[in-house]
Structure 1
């Protein structure tokens, strides 16, 4: 930027604008919607995680992803596919092994970082709107320095997605053998969206093809990279869709476990 002392002769000085922004559109709506949406989802998820009830439908082997894998002593034996080795204290969620790691995966996600930086921290709230903070250090200090660990949480998310896939496969069981109902469609749909969100991650895109110098020498990885790149463009939409499918899956299984209504069965 040219200072007043070195400004060329005849050049105009910058306009002195008192307003914080000249935007006249409703730029505050996206950050507001993000605050409301994420806050509502976190409130629902927190209540459900600490309810310690209505997470398992024994007849059809439906297990909500909020309680998978169920590893505390409070878990029902038939819902514990990987054992019960944590104490059943109220403060410990049934899925204590995976929930914190999934939370860290989402917190360090490139899209979610943009979302909560702009909405909760107002840093900045929108383009051409000033930051609400006096100083800016980027992600060079604690705790934001930990955002670089996202690539490692990606591997954990893959393992957890495999566990959720296993839960969806086990759900095709009924008292009469193979069974198929609306709950299966919801579980499979949720797992599919979770895989799409996980694979569309920027870290996955870099792992698949980001370090290659010659795509022509790696046609298979190039094909995989183009597919992941196609998903990566939709990473924001998938981030929100998976929040919706997770809540829907949990609510449906909770309703069945609480006997609010029966599962719609197509086979057995």
Structure 2
């Protein structure tokens, strides 16, 4: 900090001469673009199903006011009284997982709140309370959103499996949409299991790794993925938007899904 005890008498707020603002600026722009797109798609309540694909924003369906996917994960838990978009029910879980994610915290703290804007650049706020007070203390429920994210990933995996059907629900087919969904679910799983909470659950409390060789190897694997958590966070964010947009294009009749076999 500029006024820290013992600091040299330098008037400048920082000594960085590079374009340090590019990274937080690009981060804010990218996250803002996704928020705008996902909000539009979540509230649109249309064009989210094109047999045999269903948008990851709308799966699983927990209300009875969504289009039916034969054999898909449709659980009408909310009944007919839910009149809004069914995406608003399910998106709270992946959104909560990403919002409380350790990497995303850093991303939007820096990008939107300038807390701090970059390394060696002082933040403009006078006080720092960390995550000890409301609402940021709610970030500590990240581990519970991790469990919910696992369930969502399982459902999306099943949706991807159903993509190996044609529009008449016959098995043994594969289209471009199948590839899009395969890439998306792989990235979602890699992002999910590279989470810090997953790493801690697997091996964070072990006192003697030698007594738990299997969990140690799993912990090491997740640790290697964790090194790429930032890249996986962005890649999976883009892939889920691409998967949704692909279904939107099919549902609006922009083109037909190219089938490979």
Normalising by structure 2, we get a TM-score of 0.92
Q: State the distance in 2 between where 1:204 and 1:65 align.
A: 22
Contact 1:190–1:246, Cα closer than 8 Å, also in 2: yes
Contact 2:44–2:85, Cα closer than 8 Å, also in 1: no
Correspondences of 1:1-268 after superposition (within 5 Å)? 14-58=7-51, 61-78=52-69, 81-86=73-78, 87=80, 92-174=84-166, 175=168, 176-267=170-261
Q: State the distance in 2 between where 1:51 and 1:14 align.
A: 54
Tell me how large the CA RMSD over aligned residues is: 1.7
Deviation at 1:84, TM superposition (A): 2.8
Deviation at 1:104, TM superposition (A): 1.1
Instruction: Call closer, same or farther: CA 1:159–1:89 in 2, change over 3 Å.
Output: closer
Normalising by structure 1, we get a TM-score of 0.90
Q: State the distance in 2 between where 1:162 and 1:177 align.
A: 20
Deviation at 1:140, TM superposition (A): 0.5
Q: How many residues align?
A: 253
Contact 1:20–1:129, Cα closer than 8 Å, also in 2: yes
Uncovered stretches (5+) of structure 1, i.e. residues with no partner: 1-6, 8-12
Q: State the distance in 2 between where 1:179 and 1:21 align.
A: 59
Q: Which has the larger radius of gyration?
A: 1
